[in-house]
Structure 1
């Protein structure tokens, strides 16, 4: 076991890296600021190493008080605007276009600032042109607000936070300076976990990093089943604004697909990854209106609702659910893993469309000392690097050349394993320098295990799958 090399990370990644002890001591995440914004801010306001000093904390607190609005600040901010003040704030801004038929006018886009419950602000077209992400999931940034003579709030200016583009060639060159173990630990630390903690074995790290597969692979749909407290949703909440998390409760077709009243495209059409958390308590008002289009989407990457054109999307869907374990810390229903989840998940046609199930019971429960305390990559840079890797086809070509299936694998099994293996390859070997043994151990084996968990349930549920046998075989060629 090699100990973590902070100096190497700093030397190779420079200002794209940050000491991960800065964030927990800042209190920023406690007030709802996602890590990818908070780390960017800390580096701007109080660059440095180690936990924040009392003086640095004071500086951050003063900044937060001034720049981060809370919901109950709304009236005060509106009052200041009516007095002719320009207010500068840090918030998420989204832009929408209302389509109203028959008016004969070209609709004006309008901006929304969810934290202030402002939904009809004007915004210059030049700002939208420069920041097209406003039209999708929105952009975190420093915004300047003013009031126009007609009483409408205007977003006058926007200084976006998110890392805009990542040079994959440079990212790959930097990866080459690390061993595989060092790189795995760097990624593990970057998403907020302590790679030196003895409970995190190489296998546990593999399954934690499998959470990144939906970011590097488009239309990659996966589940994670685990007991409470393994940190399932942590990475998704903090890595990028292009990832949307819906927690438990009810999910509506308008939310997911398209809103019939406003014609607004739903989460699956606007984000790169949509995560349904607490799936065990998920319910739908009208299940058929959700399950039908969802099944169609999982198979084809397209969906529609009555009266609307098909919408194509490369969004990955992730489902996270809590399950019970037995006294040996194994799932109670190991043969049929989704037994205790909502009925629609146990429908074979639905389940078969998922690439795999992450065995969250093999990830230790999260405790305070498992939090990263080393130097890792800044979350906004790391999230963007992963999402940029989606566009690179070299990894899928490599995987196709080097995996051989026998008749035990259905077409869906093959596609799922190829995509998952390509995803692990992007995460661990973005420079594509590896041996076939490395590929088998770090990419093919975990990819096959992910899909095997789906096959196990399908085999249990439906005799049709018994012709293929219980096990899927795949080998390196």
Structure 2
């Protein structure tokens, strides 16, 4: 009994003939070492239906074709015998071709049939030149001629015809016109089901879905440089091995100059000019066979072109580069002892020039380890149709779209801007192929893009030091002029205080009732109004008095603190107090409230990981912080990078542990102007 959900019914209504039930593919896949796109090529037309009887008939037909024509490696002798006995035969196999320069002829190798040095015409090689670049899956007509010789050597197997296993023609207009029939979440689920994933299974949060989707970016964006490092069993290479005939997997150490870039004697362009994506599987092992390949790859990753002596000038390519590999330690350990590229091959893991060319670092440690429940039983696009869709998207671009709504922050240099724009463009192509999207859609993709590029830059800072200091990546909303800083989940670790510039109105402090400490977050929101104060998150009267006194001090002195345009009489001020750690909040938070209110009014970001100790009295005097050493230590241990403290605590600095002072800056202030000067982030 076939049970369909709403998305299945929509798919069959709008894409019948272009979808398959993915569990059918898995049932055939068992015991057959054949890529998914080959199986789906065979079953798409006969099984793109919800009619159980037709599906059963279609599956029987596909099984018959596979049993008669698909070659399992252990059956190679049987197939060779069958070809000999019948004189000619049709098989499904992976065919690759090599050039014999001594004899000036091409020879064909059939992977599963174990046929070596089959005779193939120059014209056929020219028509299907990807056979020279790792091979293609195809339906192959092969003949046996006992008298076919090259000198004294018999070459009885003759390749007569090849039909590559991919659509012979393609038009993506249906996909574009039908996109409007699906909501954004439905479309995301459809794309994931087309990859074989079940988006409604356990562990599939929206973030995990978007990370899975991002594996398709190299297929829709030309010259996209992508890295995924993480645990085993997360399907890192699955997309490039199984889901498209336009990507090639290169095993560790097999990346030669001739295979990748250009053949020295023939001048033929290598894989970068032949494929849409080149995936280096297990890039934690040696990636390239020759050291000379590294500088060529740097050139190519930077500009999509390279020069090679004797190759006749500059050569261009469109292939995206993917590096996949395993990280075997907990990510916290890697970050404490090294950097997130350390798992890569020694050729490149400390080469900042190479690593800086990476556009997108997918955090593989966030991916789920796949179990049977994570693979879908529902309908998705057939892989041959889906792979053609992905390829067709390469012709369009949305790289300038983000500029309609947002400006990138000052820390993003040219080499950071390009990856961010290409990532946003790729997500729009995947999620909105009809070009119909909103500002908030672009914001979501922009924040992901900035995070993935910042991950690269943060590791470069660990490796190369101050050359890569500018990692506070942000974007500015053109409409509101608000600046938003994007952090990294793994950099926060166990820290409660974020290490990116704080949003206007946000500040941290620590309080003590004499025996117990509390880590406190202050958040101030300014809205148009008439000068009212609203306090939430705290019931302690002394703390409320602290906040009121600070507010009244600003109000009484606003001619020296604020300008007319920002007068408190034009605003209502809401102060949210949140205890993040420890006992209930105590008094002594006035200075933190002061800097939060002023930064919120002027929309000024505060320094990364900022905390403030001390109190400002109604008369403006700065009051000393009690339990100074304990407060500084607590703030530092929870991620504070800067703690601004009253000048009256200066004599207590010798009591602060050296390890704390090594991790956290402790500047002093004696009045409200000094507090603002030392707390505001300078552009």
TM-score, normalisation: structure 1? 0.86
Q: Does 1:145 align with 2:147?
A: no
Aligned-pair distance for 1:231? 1.3
Tell me the C-alpha RMSD between the 2 structures.
Answer: 3.2
Match of 2:171 in 1: 167
Aligned-pair distance for 1:281? 2.5
Task: Answer with 1 or 2: which has the greater Rg.
Answer: 2
Question: Which whole-Å deviations, capped at 9, do the CAs of 1:343-378 have from their partners, x for residues lacking one?
Answer: 322221111001020012222111110001111001
Greater displacement, 132-141 / 200-209 = 132-141
Report the secondary structure of 1:424's partner residue.
Answer: helix
Question: Which whole-Å deviations, capped at 9, do the CAs of 1:60-92 have from their partners, x for residues lacking one?
Answer: 554323201234544444444445611111123
Aligned-pair distance for 1:26? 1.7
Report the secondary structure of 1:5's partner residue.
Answer: helix
Greater displacement, 430-439 / 88-97 = 88-97
Q: Does 1:154 align with 2:151?
A: no
TM-score, normalisation: structure 2? 0.62
Question: Which whole-Å deviations, capped at 9, do the CAs of 1:253-295 have from their partners, x for residues lacking one?
Answer: 3443345467664333321101112222235554x22212111
Rounded to whole Å, the distance in 2 between the matches of 1:56 and 1:84 is 27
Q: Is the 1:175–1:429 Cα contact (8 Å) retained in structure 2?
A: yes
Report the secondary structure of 1:433's partner residue.
Answer: coil
Correspondence 1:56-455 to 2 at 5 A: 60-83=62-85, 85-94=87-96, 111-118=108-115, 120-123=117-120, 138-148=135-145, 149-151=147-149, 152=155, 153-248=157-252, 251-260=255-264, 265-282=269-286, 284-286=288-290, 288-309=291-312, 310-326=314-330, 332-333=334-335, 336-343=339-346, 344-393=348-397, 395-441=398-444, 443-455=445-457
Q: Is the 1:251–1:282 Cα contact (8 Å) retained in structure 2?
A: no
Change (3 A) 1:114 1:279: same
Rounded to whole Å, the distance in 2 between the matches of 1:85 and 1:412 is 59
Question: Which whole-Å deviations, capped at 9, do the CAs of 1:303-327 have from their partners, x for residues lacking one?
Answer: 355543443211100011211453x
Q: Is the 2:43–2:59 Cα contact (8 Å) retained in structure 1?
A: no
Rounded to whole Å, the distance in 1 between the matches of 2:268 and 2:33 is 26
Q: Is the 1:324–1:331 Cα contact (8 Å) retained in structure 2?
A: no
Report the secondary structure of 1:176's partner residue.
Answer: helix
Aligned-pair distance for 1:462? 2.1
Higher relative contact order (CA 8 A, sep 6+): 1
Rounded to whole Å, the distance in 2 between the matches of 1:196 and 1:84 is 50
Between structures 1 and 2, the one with greater strand share: 2
Rounded to whole Å, the distance in 2 between the matches of 1:47 and 1:392 is 29
Aligned-pair distance for 1:476? 4.8
Q: Is the 1:99–1:263 Cα contact (8 Å) retained in structure 2?
A: no
Query: Structure 1 regions of 5+ residues with no counterpart?
Result: none
Change (3 A) 1:438 1:44: closer
Report the secondary structure of 2:16's partner residue.
Answer: helix
Rounded to whole Å, the distance in 1 between the matches of 2:174 and 2:318 is 25
Query: Structure 2 regions of 5+ residues with no counterpart?
Result: 150-154, 479-683
Rounded to whole Å, the distance in 2 between the matches of 1:199 and 1:65 is 37
Match of 1:473 in 2: 474
Greater displacement, 178-187 / 379-388 = 379-388
Change (3 A) 1:56 1:13: closer
Report the secondary structure of 1:116's partner residue.
Answer: coil
